[in-house]
Amino acid sequence: MPTSAIVAHRAIVAGAADIPSTKRATAASAKGVISGTLIDMTVEKVSSTDAKNRLNALLADVERTGKTVIITNHGRDVARLVPATPTPRQFGQMPNLSFPQDFDEPLPDAELARWEGDESP
């Protein structure tokens, strides 16, 4: 392994095993890669061998998407690869979400009564 790859590999693996077990991702395994969620962030789990083989792709993906990659060693979380700078939230991340034009109009009295617990028509 070239020296630069060793340094990069050590930088990823060193000192990042501090993810609390209550916040670890849970998901199904697929070809050595596990995807899940960590609070609201997207997380991908990869083995240390996979991370070594795909380091450039993982770095590009983390930079582009802002997601976190957790690197495992024999199934144990040992490191996390995170963006160097926080990824700004983007408006429109849910393109299929829409609101009716009258969304912010007051509710009709009958509808308001139902929301307040009055079941009579």
**pLDDT (tens digit per residue) in 3-20:** 333 333 333 443 334 433
Q: Which segments of the chain have a pLDDT < 70? A: 1-41, 87-93, 120-121
At 90 the pLDDT is 67
Q: Please tell me the pTM assigned to this model.
A: 0.42
Tokens standing for residue 101: 């034009």
Extended strands (E) in 39-94: 41-47, 68-73, 76-81
CA distances from 25 to 30, 58, 84, 100 (A): 14, 18, 21, 35
Contacts of 9 (CB under 8 A, 6+ apart): 1, 51, 52, 55
Instruction: Give the DSSP H/E element, type plus range, for residue 105.
Output: none
At 3 the pLDDT is 35
At 6 the pLDDT is 36
Report d(CA 28, CA 8) in Å as an integer.
28
